[in-house]
Amino acid sequence: MEFSARQIAELLGGTIEGNKEVTVSSLSKIEEGVPGALTFLANPAYTNHIYTTGASLAIVRNNFTPEKPLPEGLTLIRVEDPYNAFATILELHANMTAKKSGISSQSFVSPSATLGNNLYIGAFAYIGENVEIGDGVQIYPQVYLGDNVKVGNGTTLYPGVRIYRDCVVGQNCTIHGGAVIGSDGFGFAPQDDKNYRKVPQVGNVILEDNVEIGANTTIDRATIGSTIIHRGVKLDNLIQVAHNVEIGENTVIAAQSGLSGSMKVGKNVMVGGQVGFVGHIYVADNVKVGARSGVENSLTQEGGIFFGAPAIDAMRARKNYVHWRNLDDIVRKLNTLEKQVKKLIPDE
């Protein structure tokens, strides 16, 4: 499907520099642009590619000033934020892709389940007893929904998602392949004979609206009560969320991070990859935690930036890192000073 520069500029509220009637029918990265493609320039590190791109149309920042001639025939659309503008285009593109519909004869749907309108349920999906599924839900092949699960309107469950009994998924959520929602929390009581007695996990998991869960991420059910992922949270692939964790609105967590049991994360928190949190601590609103950090204590400074293992204030962590890099030289100097001191002090 083709769109003109004029149509795209109207959608984005941008201004056109070049041919208003040029049309595009595909999307591309700026370094791989071809005629008829729309691209964008948001990261300054890619600026050089705009002088060689073969794309017909590029979204750029309002204050972008070319330092060299642009390719002949390249039209620009100037906007305040190119990255968000391109995200709008991608969203439009995704919405235009026809959604699947219908219920496969190779799926199993319990007679007690309640189904909304305009559904898709793929082959080999299993819908348990008393499950409630809202309108427009997309359930891809091999999805498992345990008894009493609730799935809100417009949610998409990709192949291989497992949602255990009694869990609740809100509206317009996206759960990617292999994710497990509601598996047992890691609860075992030590016994006198050195064995461990399993503590039954009788709670559930609640995902509020507009939550996205990455592939192969696991979210454990609560021992009692609920593990809660509040609205707007985005979890990357391969994340472990333990029992009774609560994650605040619009928090984002990158891949391979782990959240131990009963900890609480505030709103609008940003967590890098491979971060580990111990249990029963609190992270304040608007905090940022650098990749590969180990968080051993509560981070109570709202808006703070933390890094390291154990995680400390990022500015202090950077200073410590500089000293660590020079540790070999420092030790060498200390050894030299020690020898000099010994020469000045006569032997007793």
Q: Which residues are catalytic?
A: 243
DSSP single-letter state for residue 221 = P
How far is it, in rounded angstroms, from Cα 325 to Cα 257?
A: 26
Report which DSSP code applies to 344.
H
Stretch (H or E) spanning 90: helix 82-96
User: Which element (helix H / strand E) includes 57?
Assistant: strand 57-61
Short-list 163, 165, 166, 167, CA closest to 180:
163
- Distances in Å between the Cα of 208 and the Cα atoms of 187, 228, 238 are 25, 8, 20
Q: In 10 A of CB 29, how many CB atoms?
A: 13
Return d(Cα 139, Cα 156) in angstroms, integer.
6
CA neighbor of 31 nearest in space, from 43, 39, 23, 19: 39
Q: Nearest 5°: CA angle at 240, between 237 and 244? A: 135
